[in-house]
Amino acid sequence: MEQLKKYDACPVCEATQFETHLEVKDWMITKEVFTIQKCTSCGFHFTNPVPSEDTIGTYYKSEEYVSHSSTNKGLVNKLYNIVRNVTLAKKVSLIQSYAKGNSILDIGSGTGHFLNACKQNDLKVQGLEPDIDARTFAKDNFGLDLEPLDTLQSIASNSKDVITMWHVLEHVYHLKRDIIQITRVLKEDGTLFIAVPNMNSYDATLYKEYWAAYDVPRHLYHFQENTIKELFSQFDMVCVDVLPMKFDSYYVSMLSEKYKGGNIVKAFMNGFLSNMKSATNGYSSQIYVFKKK
Ligand SMILES: [Zn+2]
């Protein structure tokens, strides 16, 4: 089994010249060091090399991987759960404000909290999730039948009003192949919502290699507003809105301070500052709203 996957060509523009941006530790789980490279041609940043698709699973096994759990232990997890409930409602109303119809596909549904909120608001939901434990959780807790990721290939063309990927695109191995499938499945007047961390944000530039949203090697790609727009423009998708995720700056700053051995007061200050500086840097995480051209 191949342990590492090395990119010889930029995942966005296919150019072959890279420079090193940062050496970053897998703070959350293995403490292994990974390199983030920058394509000198288009400016896209990506982890290189990354664990192979066959071996990445070991980097996800952690009780601290809160997006896949619902534990109430610890301050960070408690806060995460409170914030999740607030943001769920916001996400649903955001979607309803753009959607022309009610069929939604969520890719990377995790434990199904978001799709459950959609279902409760009378949306017709379908969810894909690679992790079997997460799928079982969604079934047991919400009665949701999440399906494996490769189901994407068999979903009917032009069939979804909305497709959502909440902090998922930075994890997918077959970036362009999946985007082709997404644009195929999305209706002509459909809306695609992509939430990813923003490596130009104030908290990212402040915490550097401690920035929790680099999250190597789980995050294969490290997006900025211009690079994600460039990527999707290759598939005739145009970004119609960029929206903030204001809680993420606090959450990411808290984790970053933890990795750095800092303190929670600083984390709150820096989260606040990051949101204040969004006019120049963008927010810590952003939602990109895409439509077909
Ligand atoms: Zn490139």
Q: Give the pLDDT confidence of 139-170 residue by residue, as tens digits.
A: 999 999 999 999 999 999 999 999 999 999 99
Going from the C-alpha of 3 to that of each of 51, 52, 130, 175, the distances in angstroms are 6, 5, 20, 19
Q: How far apart are CA 271 and CA 107, in angstroms?
A: 28
Residue 9 alpha carbon to ligand 1 centre in Å: 8
**How close is the Cα of 43 to the center of ligand 1, in Å?**
6
Q: Is residue 73 situated within a structural domain?
A: yes
Domain count, the chain: 1
Q: Is residue 50 part of a domain?
A: no
Strands (E), 171-269: 186-197, 221-222, 237-244
Query: What CATH number did the domain enclosing 227 receive?
Result: 3.40.50.150
Does 150 reside within a domain? yes
For the beta carbon of residue 231, count every other beta carbon within 10 angstroms: 22
Nearest CA among 33, 54, 44, 34 for reference residue 9: 44
Asked whether residue 170 is assigned to any structural domain, the reply reads: yes
Residue 77 in this model has a pLDDT that exceeds 90: no
CA 222 to centroid of ligand 1, rounded, Å: 12
Q: How far is the CA of 221 from the centre of ligand 1 (A)?
A: 12
Task: Please state the pTM of the whole predicted model.
Answer: 0.93
Are 257 and 274 within 8 A, CB to CB?
Answer: no
Helices 132-142 & 113-120 angle (0-180, nearest 10): 30
Exposure string over 199-218, b if 16+ CB within 10 A, otherwise e: bbbbbbebbebbbbbbbbbb
State the distance from the centre of ligand 1 to the C-alpha of 7, rounded, in angstroms.
Answer: 11
User: Is 216 a member of any domain?
Assistant: yes
Q: Is residue 141 part of a domain?
A: yes
One-letter amino acid for residue 177 of the chain: R
Q: Quote the domain boundaries for residue 81.
A: 62-292
- Residue 176 CA to ligand 1 centre (angstroms): 13
pLDDT band at 64 (very low <50, low <70, confident <90, very high): very low
The 10s digit of each residue's pLDDT in 213-263 is 999 999 999 999 999 999 999 999 999 999 999 999 999 999 999 999 988
Domain-located, residue 165 = yes
- Do the domain assignments include residue 37? no
